Structure 1
Amino acid sequence: MSDPALETLLLPLETEAVELAPGAKVLFLRARAGRELAALQDQETLCVQSFAPDRDALVKAGFRVEAETDEDGFDAVLLLPGRQRQEARAQLAKAVSSAREGGLVIACAPNTEGAKTLESDLADLMGGSEKLSKNKCRVVWHRVAADALNRELLEDWRALDAPRPVLEGSYISRPGIFAWDRIDPASKLLAGLLPETLKGRGADLGTGFGYLARAVLQKAPKLTTLDLYEAEKRALDLAEQNLAAFKGQKPLTGIWSDVTKGIDGPYDFIVSNPPFHQAGRAERSDVGQGFIRAAAAGLRPGGDFYMVANRHLPYEKTLGEVFATVIQLADEGGYKVIRAVKAKGGR
């Protein structure tokens, strides 16, 4: 699958608009894998990625990957910022802070996802910026000069995506997480329809900051254990914090992984509000279909799968292929809630 932002990010190096000496120390924030990374083959590169599918692809490509880092003094810092503005500014400030004096900061965003703002933000922080455009994206860069940095802005922006109380203090969350400062209406609809009869070993696929898992823990006294699957480690860390009060009552396990690659099991029940976006704005129904197949494989025979999705997403065919019974429990507010039961024969 093509990645226009990644391809454009490496343009300054490929066109020799900027140069890096062989063996340069490079940090790549929100890194993604792709053939374009061949431009970094002679460098000492550390990739920072807290999203499990991208982490896995980078590891497979042979890169050193960390969920986060406090290292600094890099000769160059590359960044593919998130779409949420507070998170993107915090990431940009992190990039600038991680580069040495004279080091390069290079960042790229699609034109429809804040490229113009990224250019002005970089200039505000560093005292200037240069740019190239291609693939409907814009890459911007500048070298760090201590006397040109806006240090007050730098410190303010570094704190923009810090964890904080939300929803009148009932949860801790942070910008950049899905529905970070609100209860997602789809999850709320599903939570209201979960039966109190849920029992045994359960899992929440795509747990986010823990809203749906908390609903299960509050509603199902016969639950014995609950596993929390989440691809974004920043969200998983929040979920574990938000569910800490239940740790002494029920065994809870956070699992940082790509659900579409499979889950542990067998589970007696699984709940999920599957994501349908990854990098970029395009809908990815294949991700939700991967969640459905993983849930079916991870349930015991006769186990229940409760899911919610946007009404228009094409999940029924996949559900019918891997579950014996598929029942729509609700269709309201643009969302559908489905209960699927795995065949007792194992289908």
Structure 2
Amino acid sequence: MLLLSSKMHLLFIFAAISSAWALDCTQIQDSQIFNASRIFIPGGDGSLQPLPARFNCLYTIKAPANSTSGYSANVVLRNGIRGVNDVIYVVDLQGKNYIMNNKTGIGGKPYEYVLPPGTQMSIQVITKSVFMNSMFSITVEYHAAKIGPTIEMKTNGEMNFIDVNTIREEGYLYATVTFIGLEPIYWNLASTEFDDISYCLNCYVIDGTISNMTRILTLSDWLGSGPNDNLSNAVTFMTCVDDFFPVVMNPKSEYKGKFLIYPVAAELYSSYTGARNMLPGYIPTAEIVNFAGPGILMTNLTIQSPVCKAYVISGPPNNSSVLLTELANITTPYHFDRQYFSILNVDCEYWATIKQFREN
């Protein structure tokens, strides 16, 4: 009985080794990429698969996209490396390199990656000359993505802004929007009471377009690096969550001058803006935007300095914007029948609350 059991055990090992030796380096085919498709590499059902000795394969996983549509990819890598010299090399969508071996995630701990449309990653699996019962698996699941629109940056006295969340459509995981200008674009999230979008780990900003990326970072990485300037004349925003994503953009010529620009969203409930200008030679500039439509109400205004040189202008800080009023002349509540304006704080210490204006 013991002999039979031993023979069956050896037969199982031989079958596993034979299956592993049959492993090839098959890549994902274009015909396999469609909405909700799921692909298992190197086969099987997503569980760990045995690796032969002397195996070396570079798997390139792409999330394709064109000017109107594309796909995102959810990638799950399970590391079952056992051999001391066996290894998995990962290069993520940002070009960052990672090494996995028998000390990182033994037992098939899943490592998850999200590829937004137009990006790719690679996974190279290498085993040495001795069979060590190493294993691995990759599961790739594709989801349809909505690409576009592409919008030209407005010039003169018009403000450039968007709630990226408004371009999402049912049936698509990712949605993207691209802005193109005549010079590098500076952007920032408008200040809000609840800043949930900044915690989105799979929302991305591209310096450039989907077809011509200079660099790509997660939204949180961009916000942490500041200022959010582009090397190219285009910027692309990608979102996969239903959160308010308020972006205000300025061309380099506005941002790199004497104006210290910070955007503020006018929301349903009052939010604060204001400060004291403590930087001689510079002008802190609050760009106030109601992303929902025209109508901004200044509910309160407190001027704490004996002299207040602050001005409300019709648009971004450039020569095309016109003076609406001096801040010191405002009596609250004050209704701006506009979707946006800027407050130039030349020399003033003030605090104000603003909100969306809605007719009762």
Tell me which of the two structures has the higher relative contact order, counting C-alpha pairs closer than 8 angstroms and 6 or more residues apart.
2
Q: TM-score, normalised by structure 2?
A: 0.29
Scaled by the length of structure 1, what TM-score is found?
0.30
Going by fraction, where is strand more abundant, 1 or 2?
Answer: 2
